[in-house]
Every structure is written in structure tokens, then in C-alpha cells.
């Protein structure tokens, strides 16, 4: 990996601000660069932007220590675990989280490293004289899209966060930044994404795994939907913006729902069809993603992988919350409860729980013990649900277009179409559909916080106030669980970082 000798200090960590690859994923032979001899050739610009993508992988994977992506899943009350040594997971699931939790630190470190790489690329790529304008704009567009994505996660997870939009060196005055208001962070996110829309010339869709205009508009629709809700409570104008951006993606005709759920994890269909933007893994180029380890049942001998950790599986009551006949809740739809042991593939064993079939790489688990399965960040199904929710709010009730959007997802699940609903009834049906369709894809907790509503698996209304909601296994959400804590190491090394309430 090529690395630059320019650093960003944010709290306790020092991040290399650019490390690139000769291709999108492959590692090259080590080479040493300084700022004086880097950013002099077009290849340097490509490598610098490639480096920004790298940190999309940092919170994925997993092993006996769990995995950072589990962080938001366990704060929904919809997930269970068998991994007793993964204290980071157990503490969050019990709503006993603290600022010393390593998951939060990984999110903070990796996302600010990605931001630092983006800042360096944005500042230096325009100075490369040999770079043609179209390539320059494309690369700047990818960098801004990724910076916006990283900030979008950070502001939703931690609230007010340092907003750094320029490179920071060791002699910078901004080595101990203060937290910027949430509104300012969202303004920066929107500014980046609207710049990309107007200036980058990104293709609307392609199969490379790089940022596209479809991904930009999808992210922007999600951002606007969040801005309509909490904490900003922007209301109608942002519902309309979310609706309009989602409609642009729909009207493009570039994406479609797959016919079957198995296609969602078919390697030959990655970055196509329903997949708008994914975290890229390739078992032939880089280490496999580790997703199999953390989602396999604990030591049940169903896989040729060396580790089966039981790191996460679905709460039984959540699987039971799907409508009768919903294909997603059937065996090997989105979940599975039985599989053959590696010692004898001719028999089937009951696993005692509902595990995540939507992430199960059958070839890897039965044959190769190496998985290059990509991780979905944005699917077309989410665009349809964003559109349906926002359209309902904009029009004071569901239109035929809103029904068509959500019913396309229900049709694939083989459950009855929605019709004849009030605005409130339709609103909650769309919320529930999103919980069911995008389960365990790091969407549910963010929706709970923007809506201030929790999905109720017990008796009573389907949706109830987030604060005061009790999980089916005991713990009760308080106001502090609207955010995660600022990591303790960051505050020890930066006295300007305040802590979120309750931590």
C-alpha cells in the first residue's frame, strides 16, 4: 500500500491520510512517498481516492471479539447473541454501554480516517496538471460522496461531532477540534452531495463498485428523510426533497428489485440490479470479509470455517412479527433455523434459533472457507420505501405511486398489497416494511432515532415511543440511547470534546 507522510490528529489517533492501491482493491508493493513527490501524476489521484473507500470495510467482518457493525443492531432490541466473550456486544444489548466500548472507537477512527483521506484528495487532486478535467471531476465527486457518507454515520451515531473539511497537519491550529452542531454537519453533507450532483459527471450506474450518481441521489434522499425527522425536525420541505430524490432514482430505470432473495447475495449480481452501493470484498484480492464468522451459529459444526461465533442472530419474536406467508420469514428466506453438519451433509440439524440467511455464503461455508461477499449499503428496496414514506407525508396520505412502491416489495414477499389506508396507517405499514425488508443491514436503529419510535415485539401498538420502550428481554431505552458515547480515548486526548448526556 502506498502511504503519504501527512497526518491527521483527531483525539487520540494519528491517521495516515492517504493510502492507495494500483487498482480498486488490490494491494501493491510498498512504496514510500512524501507530499513533495506525491500528487504529481494522474495515478496518484486514483490511488488517493481508492484509499477513501478502504475505510468502508473497517467496521465490517467479525470474529470472537464481535464486530463493530453489530453496535447499532444490538441497540434495537431485535437481535440476540451467543458470543459470551464479546462484551462490547453484550453491554450494548443490555443497554449498559460506556465510552470505553471498542465498537464506537472503531467507527470514530475509521470514519475520520476516511474523512482525512477525502480532505487530502480534495485539496491536492486539482493541482495535478496532467489530470484531464473529466477524470478530476469524477474523482472529486467520489471523494465528496464518501466524505458525506462518513459524516452521515458519525452525526447520527454521536450527534455533534468535529467538522473538518480541510487537511490537518501536525502544525495545524485544528488539532483539538470542538464538536460542531448537528445542523452544521448536515449542511456540509448536503453541500458535498449537491456539488457532486452538479459537477462530477458520475455515471448514474455501473458495475465497478465505485460511487455513482444513483448512489449519490440515494444517499441524499436518505439524508433528507432524516433531516425531516429528529433531531432537526425539518418537516415537510425535507420530506419533499427526500421524495423527489428517491423518485429521480426510480424514474432513472437503472435499478430493479431482484426476483428472488437468493439473488441479493449472488456474487455475479453484485453491484447490479437492486444493489446501488456496496462495500467491496473479493476473496481473491483481499482478506475475506469475516461476515460469516460473526453470523454463524455458535460452534454447531455446520461450516468449514474455523470459527463459528454466534455473534448475532435474530430475536425470535422479530422473525415471528412478519406476516403469515411472508417469504422473508420462511426457512432460508432471510433467516434459517436448520442446516446440515459439516461432518455429514446428508442430514439436517435444528440450530435452535433464527440465523441470518441473507448473509450466508453457502459456497464459502460448505466448500472454500473464504468469502468475498459484498456488504449492501444501499439497495433499491430502500429507495422505494423512502419514496413511499415521503410521498405519504407530502400528500397528506398515500397516493397510488406510494402504494406501488411499497407493494412492489410486498409482492416479492408474496404478501397482500396495501390499500385503503389512512395517512397514519400507511405510515406505520411502511415503517414496518422497512424493518422487515432491511433487517440487520444497519438501518433499523437509525430509523428508530429519527422517528423517536421503537418497533414493539410485545403486546400493544406496533410502534411506541423510543424513550421508555422495553425490549422483549428486559432492558428499557432511555434518552441517552438516542446517541452513542464519544469514545473515552478521544476525550482523554482532546479536552475540547464534551460527552453525550448519560455517559
pLDDT of residue 503 exceeding 90: yes
Average pLDDT, the chain: 92
Q: Give the closest residue to 427 by CA, choosing from 404, 451, 410.
A: 451
- pLDDT score, position 118: 98
Cα 400–Cα 406–Cα 409 angle in degrees, nearest 5:
135
Spatial separation of the C-alpha atoms in residues 25 and 58, rounded to whole Å: 14
- pLDDT score, position 286: 55
pLDDT of residue 489 exceeding 50: yes
Q: What is the DSSP string of 8-34?
A: EEETTEEEES-EE-SSSSPPPPP-B--
The burial of 31, by beta-carbon neighbours within 10 Å (0-12 exposed, 13-18 middle, 19 or more buried), is given as exposed
Which residues face 15 on adjacent strands? 8
Per-residue pLDDT averaged across 183-192, rounded?
98
Per-residue pLDDT averaged across 285-312, rounded?
89
How would residue 13 be classed by pLDDT, with cut points 50, 70 and 90? very low
Range of the domain at 358: 281-373
320 in a structural domain: yes
- pLDDT score, position 247: 98
The burial of 435, by beta-carbon neighbours within 10 Å (0-12 exposed, 13-18 middle, 19 or more buried), is given as buried
Spatial separation of the C-alpha atoms in residues 466 and 225, rounded to whole Å: 18
Number of domains in the chain: 1
How many Cα atoms are found within 13 Å in the side-chain-facing hemisphere of 228? 23
- pLDDT score, position 34: 62
**Over the stretch 121-173, which tens digit does the pLDDT of each residue have?**
999 999 999 999 999 999 999 999 999 999 999 999 999 999 999 999 888 87
Is 355 strand, coil or helix? strand
Q: Are strands 335-339 and 375-379 parallel, antiparallel or unpaired?
A: unpaired
- pLDDT score, position 12: 33
- pLDDT score, position 24: 54
Per-residue pLDDT averaged across 206-228, rounded?
98
352 in a structural domain: yes
- pLDDT score, position 282: 86
- Phi, psi angle pair for 66, to nearest 5°: 90, -155
Task: Specify the DSSP class assigned to residue 359.
Answer: G
Other beta carbons less than 10 A from residue 386's beta carbon: 27
3-class SS string, 310-351: CCCEECHHHHHCCCCCCHHHCECCCEEEEECCCCCCCCCEEE
- pLDDT score, position 288: 64
**Over the stretch 26-84, which tens digit does the pLDDT of each residue have?**
433 334 456 667 889 999 999 999 999 999 999 987 778 889 999 999 999 999 999 99
Q: Give the closest residue to 283 by CA, choosing from 269, 297, 267.
A: 267
- pLDDT score, position 20: 34
CB of 273 closer than 8 Å to CB of 258: yes
Spatial separation of the C-alpha atoms in residues 308 and 329, rounded to whole Å: 23
- pLDDT score, position 19: 35
Is residue 97 reached through a cis peptide bond, with omega within 30 degrees of 0 on the bond before it? no
Q: Are strands 79-80 and 275-279 parallel, antiparallel or unpaired?
A: unpaired
Which residues face 338 on adjacent strands? 350
How many Cα atoms are found within 13 Å in the side-chain-facing hemisphere of 351? 29
353 in a structural domain: yes
**Over the stretch 412-422, which tens digit does the pLDDT of each residue have?**
999 999 999 99
CB of 313 closer than 8 Å to CB of 294: no
CB of 18 closer than 8 Å to CB of 117: yes
pLDDT of residue 14 exceeding 80: no
- pLDDT score, position 6: 32
- pLDDT score, position 284: 78
255 in a structural domain: no
Spatial separation of the C-alpha atoms in residues 491 and 179, rounded to whole Å: 11
Cα 329–Cα 331–Cα 335 angle in degrees, nearest 5:
60
Helical spans, DSSP H, in 159-232: 182-199, 213-228
339 in a structural domain: yes
**Over the stretch 434-477, which tens digit does the pLDDT of each residue have?**
999 999 999 999 999 999 999 999 888 899 999 999 999 999 99
Residue 132: alpha-carbon gap to chain centroid: 33
For the full predicted model, state whether its pTM sits above 0.85. yes
145 in a structural domain: no
pLDDT of residue 25 exceeding 60: no
311 in a structural domain: yes
360 in a structural domain: yes
Amino acid at each position: 500500500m502506498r502511504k503519504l507522510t501527512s497526518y491527521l490528529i483527531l483525539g487520540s489517533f494519528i491517521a495516515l491520510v492517504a493510502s492507495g492501491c494500483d487498482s480498486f482493491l488490490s494491494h501493491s508493493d510498498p512504496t514510500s512517498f512524501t507530499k513533495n513527490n506525491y500528487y504529481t501524476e494522474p495515478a496518484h489521484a486514483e490511488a488517493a481516492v481508492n484509499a477513501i473507500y478502504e475505510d468502508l470495510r473497517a467496521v465490517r467482518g467479525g470474529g470472537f471479539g464481535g464486530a463493530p457493525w453489530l453496535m447499532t443492531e444490538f441497540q434495537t432490541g431485535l437481535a440476540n447473541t451467543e458470543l459470551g466473550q464479546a462484551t462490547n456486544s453484550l453491554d450494548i444489548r443490555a443497554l449498559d454501554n460506556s465510552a470505553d466500548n471498542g465498537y464506537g472507537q472503531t467507527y470514530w477512527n475509521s470514519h475520520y480516517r476516511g474523512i482525512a483521506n477525502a480532505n487530502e484528495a480534495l485539496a491536492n487532486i486539482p493541482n495535478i496538471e496532467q489530470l484531464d478535467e473529466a477524470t478530476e471531476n469524477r474523482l472529486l465527486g467520489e471523494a465528496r460522496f464518501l466524505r458525506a457518507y462518513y459524516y452521515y454515520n458519525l452525526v447520527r451515531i454521536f450527534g455533534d461531532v468535529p467538522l473538518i473539511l480541510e487537511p490537518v497537519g501536525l502544525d495545524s491550529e485544528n488539532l483539538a477540534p470542538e464538536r460542531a452542531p448537528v445542523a452544521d454537519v448536515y449542511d456540509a453533507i448536503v453541500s458535498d452531495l449537491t456539488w457532486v450532483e452538479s459537477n462530477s459527471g458520475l455515471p448514474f450506474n455501473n458495475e465497478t463498485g465505485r460511487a455513482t450518481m444513483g448512489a449519490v441521489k440515494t444517499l441524499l434522499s436518505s439524508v433528507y428523510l432524516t433531516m425531516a425527522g429528529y433531531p432537526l425536525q425539518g418537516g415537510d420541505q425535507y420530506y419533499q426533497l427526500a421524495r423527489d430524490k428517491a423518485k429521480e432514482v426510480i424514474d432513472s430505470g437503472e435499478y430493479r428489485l431482484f426476483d428472488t432473495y437468493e439473488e441479493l447475495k449472488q456474487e455475479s449480481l453484485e453491484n447490479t440490479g437492486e444493489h446501488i452501493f456496496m462495500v467491496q470484498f473479493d476473496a481473491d484480492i483481499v482478506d475475506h470479509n469475516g461476515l460469516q464468522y460473526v453470523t454463524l451459529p455458535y460452534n454447531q459444526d455446520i461450516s468449514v470455517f474455523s470459527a463459528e461465533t454466534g455473534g448475532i442472530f435474530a430475536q425470535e419474536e422479530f422473525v415471528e412479527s412478519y406476516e403469515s406467508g411472508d417469504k422473508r420469514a420462511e426457512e432460508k428466506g432471510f433467516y434459517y433455523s436448520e442446516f446440515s453438519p459439516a461432518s455429514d451433509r446428508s442430514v439436517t440439524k435444528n440450530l435452535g434459533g433464527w440465523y441470518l440467511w441473507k448473509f450466508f455464503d453457502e459456497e464459502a461455508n460448505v466448500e472454500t472457507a473464504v468469502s468475498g461477499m459484498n456488504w449492501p449499503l444501499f439497495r433499491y428496496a430502500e429507495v422505494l420505501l423512502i419514496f413511499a414514506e415521503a410521498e405519504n407525508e407530502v400528500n397528506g396520505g398515500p397516493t397510488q405511486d406510494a402504494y406501488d412502491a411499497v407493494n412492489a416489495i410486498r409482492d416479492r414477499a408474496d404478501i397482500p398489497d396495501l390499500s385503503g389506508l389512512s395517512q397514519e396507517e400507511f405510515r406505520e405499514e411502511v415503517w414496518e416494511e422497512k424493518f422487515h425488508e432491511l433487517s440487520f443491514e444497519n438501518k433499523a436503529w437509525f430509523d428508530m432515532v429519527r422517528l423517536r419510535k421503537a418497533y414493539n415485539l410485545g403486546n400493544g401498538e406496533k410502534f411506541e415511543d423510543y424513550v421508555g420502550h422495553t425490549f422483549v428481554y428486559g432492558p428499557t431505552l432511555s434518552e441517552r440511547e438516542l446517541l452513542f458515547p464519544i469514545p473515552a480515548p478521544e476525550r482523554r486526548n482532546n479536552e475540547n470534546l464534551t460527552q453525550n448526556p448519560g455517559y
